[in-house]
């Protein structure tokens, strides 16, 4: 399906807005972007594959900004990638066969719970207190990363939020640091893997991608810039608002 100039403008604007808020809060680009793809005429499978490809460039925009002052550690990156990517592959392989409505309702409840949990834990993610990077805590953390990777491969909205909260809750990161890992590793590497698997299994609307890609890079860069410049409190509030909105959207889609 080919879009006219007005449709391409809608795609670009949607991508900028969706990726800006996703980069600021640590996830949720699918809250806005994925439904628009379906609204404009793509089937579920094609919209999902196209969205995953475009989401990779949220990671590109974030990398361009975080390279200047990132605190990403090589060992932590390798652990997140090694534990999460097998889950992404499994989730992306199964999603097109899953009962969509039941899965989305369950996910909606879980996503709202993330936001409420953060709200009722005022100090969560405010300070950087690293933990569980060795021994049994590390293995438990990697199991959690595999589950989050599975969610990333199989859902369209909010999987990055699960990675953000897991890095904070289990590994003791603050919000700004956790979101940096989420945007770079989940946004680029995990989404890239999911896009490859889904692309092999279904169709991608290639002529829709240029507007989505440019908008994703711009939105991801700008959102990352604001997240870096502002304190953890603002980023925490953005995370909480995004999780609750995504959860409600999944419940009442």
Question: pLDDT tens digit string along 227-246?
Answer: 778 778 888 888 888 888 87
- The pLDDT confidence band at residue 81, using thresholds 50, 70 and 90, is very high
- The pLDDT confidence band at residue 182, using thresholds 50, 70 and 90, is confident
CB distance 99 to 142 below 8 Å? no
Question: Which comes out higher in pLDDT, residue 64 or 150?
Answer: 150
Q: What is the mean pLDDT of the chain?
A: 83
For tokens 């959860």, the residue is: 247
Say what the pLDDT of residue 21 is.
Answer: 81
Token digits for 215?
């908008």
pLDDT in tens, 125-164: 888 999 999 999 999 999 999 999 998 887 656 678 889 9
pTM for the predicted model, two decimal places: 0.81
CA distance 7 to 111: 31
Q: For residue 96, is pLDDT > 70?
A: no
Question: Which comes out higher in pLDDT, residue 1 or 6?
Answer: 6
CB distance 75 to 211 below 8 Å? no
CB distance 170 to 181 below 8 Å? no
CA distance 28 to 158: 4
CB distance 24 to 235 below 8 Å? yes
- The pLDDT confidence band at residue 202, using thresholds 50, 70 and 90, is low
- The pLDDT confidence band at residue 217, using thresholds 50, 70 and 90, is confident
CA distance 181 to 26: 9
- The pLDDT confidence band at residue 55, using thresholds 50, 70 and 90, is confident
Say what the pLDDT of residue 201 is.
Answer: 66
Express as a percent the part of the chain with pLDDT over 90. Answer: 21
Q: Cα separations (Å) of 97 from 44, 81, 89, 103, 246?
A: 12, 25, 14, 11, 23
């Amino acid at each position: 399906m080919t879009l006219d100039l007005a449709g391409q403008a809608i795609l670009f604007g949607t991508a900028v807005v969706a990726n800006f808020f996703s980069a600021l809060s640590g996830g949720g680009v699918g809250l806005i972007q994925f439904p628009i793809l379906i609204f404009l005429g793509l089937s579920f499978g094609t919209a999902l594959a196209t969205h995953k490809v475009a989401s990779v460039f949220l990671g590109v925009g974030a990398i361009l900004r975080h390279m200047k002052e990132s605190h990403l550690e090589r060992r932590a990156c390798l652990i997140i990638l090694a534990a999460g990517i097998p889950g992404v592959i499994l989730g992306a392989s199964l999603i097109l066969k899953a009962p969509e409505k039941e899965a989305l309702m369950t996910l909606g409840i879980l996503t709202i719970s993330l936001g409420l949990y953060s709200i009722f834990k005022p100090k969560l993610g405010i300070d950087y207190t690293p933990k569980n990077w060795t021994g049994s805590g590390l293995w438990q953390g990697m199991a959690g990363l595999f589950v989050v990777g599975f969610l990333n491969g199989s859902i369209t909205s909010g999987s990055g939020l699960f990675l953000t909260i897991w890095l904070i809750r289990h590994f003791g990161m603050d919000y700004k640091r956790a979101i940096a890992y989420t945007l770079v590793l989940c946004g680029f590497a995990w989404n890239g893997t999911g896009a490859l698997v889904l692309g092999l299994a279904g169709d991608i609307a290639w002529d829709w991608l240029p507007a989505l890609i440019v908008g994703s890079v711009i939105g991801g860069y700008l959102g990352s810039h604001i997240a870096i410049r502002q304190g953890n409190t603002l980023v925490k509030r953005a995370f909480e608002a995004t999780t609750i909105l995504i959860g409600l959207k999944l419940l009442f889609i």
